[in-house]
A and B are shown apart, each in its own frame.
Chain A
Amino acid sequence: MREAGGAAESGDRGEDRRPADEEALFSALLEDSAEELYEHAPCGYLTTLMDGQIVKVNSTLLDWLGYERGKLVGRKRFSELLTVGGRLYHETHFAPLLRMQGEISAIALELKTADGSRLPVMVTSRVKTGSDGQPLLIRTTILDARDRRAYEVELLRARQEADQERDRLKLLNSTLQKTLLPPALANVPGLDVAAYYHIASVEEVGGDFYDLFPLAAGTWGLFLGDVCGKGAAAAAVTSLARYTLRAAAVYDPDPAAVLTNLNTVLNHEYNGTDPRFCTVIFGLLTPDADRGGFRITLASGGHPPALLMRADGTADYLPTPGGQLIGVLPDADIATTTVHLAVGDTLLLHTDGLTEAHTNAGSEGRYGDDALLAFGRALAPTTASAVIGAVRDLLDTFGSGVDDDTAVLAVHVPRPTADEPR
Chain B
Amino acid sequence: MIRHLTLRTRTTAKGAVIELTGELDHRTAPEVRAALPGAGLEAGQQLVLDLAGLTFCDSSGITVLLAARNHARAADASIALAAVPDHLQRIFRVVGLEHVFPTHPTAGAAEAAWQPPTS
Contacts and interface: CB of A to CB of B under 8 A. Distances in A.
A138 interface: no
Interface string B1-24: 100000000000000000000000
Given A273-B71, A275-B66, A358-B1, A324 B59 contact: no
Interface in A297-337: 301-305, 321-325, 328-329, 332-333, 335
Contacts of A323: 96
Nearest to A204: B26
A228 B60 contact: yes
Given A273-B71, A273-B74, A275-B70, A352 B59 contact: yes
B76 to A, nearest CB: 15
A274 interface: yes
A358 B94 CA distance: 20
Q: How large is the interface on A (under 10, 10 to 19, 20 to 34, 35 or more residues)?
A: 20 to 34
Contacts of B96: 301-302, 322-325, 332-333, 335
Interface string A352-364: 1000101000001
B62 interface: yes
Given A228-B63, A229-B60, A328-B66, A302 B94 contact: yes
Q: Report which residue of B55, B59, B93, B97 has the largest number of chain A beta carbons within 10 angstroms of its beta carbon.
A: B59
Interface string B34-60: 001000000000000000000110111
Nearest to A358: B1
Given A230-B26, A272-B70, A273-B70, A279 B59 contact: yes
Given A228-B59, A325-B96, A277 B66 contact: yes
Interface string B50-88: 000001101110110011001100100000000000010
Contacts of A365: 1
A226 interface: yes
B71 A325 contact: no
A404 interface: yes
A356 B58 contact: yes
B113 interface: no
Contacts, number: 63
Nearest to A325: B95
Contacts of A302: 94-97
Interface in A260-284: 271-277, 279
B112 interface: no
Interface residues of B, number: 22
Contacts of A226: 59
Contact of B26 (A229, A277, A279, A332): A229
Contacts of A352: 58-59
Contacts of B60: 228-229
A271 B93 CA distance: 22
Contacts of A305: 94
B59 A275 contact: no
A352 B90 CA distance: 13
A303 B96 CA distance: 9
Contacts of A272: 70
A228 B93 CA distance: 17
Nearest to B59: A228
Contact of B63 (A277, A303, A333): A277
A323 B98 CA distance: 11
A303 B54 CA distance: 22
Q: Report which residue of B58, B60, B62, B96 has the largest number of chain A beta carbons within 10 angstroms of its beta carbon.
A: B96
Interface in B85-113: 87, 93-97, 100
Interface of A: 226, 228-230, 271-277, 279, 301-305, 321-325, 328-329, 332-333, 335, 352, 356, 358, 364-366, 404
Interface of B: 1, 26, 36, 55-56, 58-60, 62-63, 66-67, 70-71, 74, 87, 93-97, 100
25 contacts: A228-B60, A228-B62, A229-B59, A229-B60, A229-B63, A273-B36, A273-B67, A273-B70, A273-B74, A274-B67, A276-B63, A277-B63, A277-B66, A302-B95, A302-B97, A305-B94, A322-B96, A324-B95, A324-B97, A352-B58, A356-B58, A364-B56, A364-B87, A365-B1, A404-B26
Given A273-B70, A324-B100, A352-B59, 16 more contacts: A228-B60, A229-B26, A230-B26, A273-B67, A274-B67, A275-B67, A275-B70, A277-B63, A302-B96, A302-B97, A322-B96, A325-B95, A325-B96, A364-B56, A364-B87, A365-B1
- A-B interface, 6 closest residue pairs, ranked by CB to CB distance from nearest: A324-B96, A302-B95, A228-B59, A325-B95, A275-B66, A302-B96
